[in-house]
A and B are shown apart, each in its own frame.
Chain A
Amino acid sequence: MNALSKDARGFVDSVVSYLEDEKKQGAAVRLHSLLSRVTSQAKREKNARVETSVALSVQEKTRIERLLISLLGHAVEVEYSVDSAVIAGVTIKVADWIVDTSFRGQLVKMQEYLNG
């Protein structure tokens, strides 16, 4: 059982490493592209939704709210939700603008890429 657990950990570390590898995933480029396309509708929006796999601490929430102020130029009401399906990372939705760094999203993209 311990051996299996060790193998599973190794596998998970590999997957995390793969998903986190910016060169392979182009995550930075994708994020930059998303950030540079903050829509005008999002800039007028007063509400945001943040979805994570674990409950966020106060510091994390503050960090996200500051980040949104710097991106949108004004404060927004943030609605937090926790969904284990996110696996890891965060999904931020403001109107029609979405930043998705979740492993769920990356796995979906990886599946789409592998299926051609």
Chain B
Amino acid sequence: MEQLGIEPTLLVAQIVNFAIIVVVLSKLLYKPILAMLEKRKREIAQGLALTEKMRQEEEKFKERKEKMLLEARKEGHEIIEEARKQAKVEEKEILVTAREEASEVMEKGKAEVERMRAALSKNLEAESTKLAVTMAKRMLVKTLTTTDQHTILAKHLKEIESLGK
């Protein structure tokens, strides 16, 4: 060994020193670093798990949102469709009512026209009769002579006498 230039004592001392350094480093540096690395690993794992959980939550939220949007759209369509149906029904009802009212107004109008026509006709007849009678009166007054009137009177008195007997 000496021929190789190696001092056994020194070698032993160096081995001892190295062992001491290994033990010291292992105790004071290696374990804390491992613990720190382990802690960091756990934190990263937790972070990843949390991220995954959040992603999943986000997915669920998106799904719920989509579902709600779909339901809202469907409900909206249903409401619009229902409103359209209701509007059509109301439109028909309004049309029927309007036709009935128009028909009623027409009937009333016709009845009123007929009533007015009848009243006018009656008035016209009455006026015509009145006019004819007035004309007859005037003609009789102007045309009948005194002799005519005495003749008529005599005839009437004769009738009364014959009936009074």
Interface residues of A in 49-75 (CB under 8 A from B): 52-54, 56-57, 60, 63-64, 67, 70-71
Answer yes or no: B141 CB below 8 A from chain A CBs.
Answer: yes
The SS class assigned to the B binding surface is helix
Q: Would you call B157 and A12 a contact (CB within 8 A)?
A: no
Answer yes or no: B72 CB below 8 A from chain A CBs.
Answer: no
Contacts A70-B164, A88-B148, A89-B153; A16 near B140 (Cβ below 8 A): yes
Contacts A8-B143, A16-B152; A111 near B133 (Cβ below 8 A): yes
Contacts A20-B152, A111-B133; A71 near B146 (Cβ below 8 A): no
Contacts A31-B160, A101-B159, A107-B136; A87 near B125 (Cβ below 8 A): no
Q: Would you call A114 and B129 a contact (CB within 8 A)?
A: yes
B52 → A minimal CB distance (Å): 107
Q: Would you call B139 and A67 a contact (CB within 8 A)?
A: no
Contact of A71 among B136, B148, B149, B164 (CB under 8 A): B164
Contacts A35-B164, A52-B153; A27 near B159 (Cβ below 8 A): yes
Answer yes or no: B10 CB below 8 A from chain A CBs.
Answer: no
- Determine the chain B residues whose CB is within 8 A of the CB of A90 once the complex forms: 153, 156-157
We find that the number of chain A residues with CB closer than 8 angstroms to chain B is 38
One digit per residue, 1 when the CB lies within 8 angstroms of any chain B CB and 0 when it does not, for chain A 16-42 equals 100010000001100110010000000
Contact of B129 among A12, A54, A111 (CB under 8 A): A111
Q: Would you call B157 and A63 a contact (CB within 8 A)?
A: yes
Answer yes or no: B27 CB below 8 A from chain A CBs.
Answer: no
B98 → A minimal CB distance (Å): 42
- Determine the chain A residues whose CB is within 8 A of the CB of B159 once the complex forms: 27-28, 31, 101
B: residues with CB less than 8 A from A are: 125-126, 129-130, 133, 136-137, 139-144, 146, 148-150, 152-157, 159-161, 163-165
Cβ contacts A to B, 18 pairs, < 8 Å: A11-B136, A12-B143, A15-B139, A16-B140, A16-B144, A20-B152, A31-B159, A52-B153, A53-B144, A56-B153, A84-B141, A87-B140, A90-B156, A90-B157, A104-B137, A110-B133, A111-B133, A115-B125
* Sample of 17 further A-B pairs with CB below 8 A, known A15-B136, A111-B130, A114-B125: A12-B144, A15-B140, A16-B140, A16-B148, A20-B155, A35-B160, A53-B144, A54-B146, A54-B149, A60-B157, A63-B161, A64-B157, A67-B160, A67-B161, A70-B165, A87-B140, A88-B149
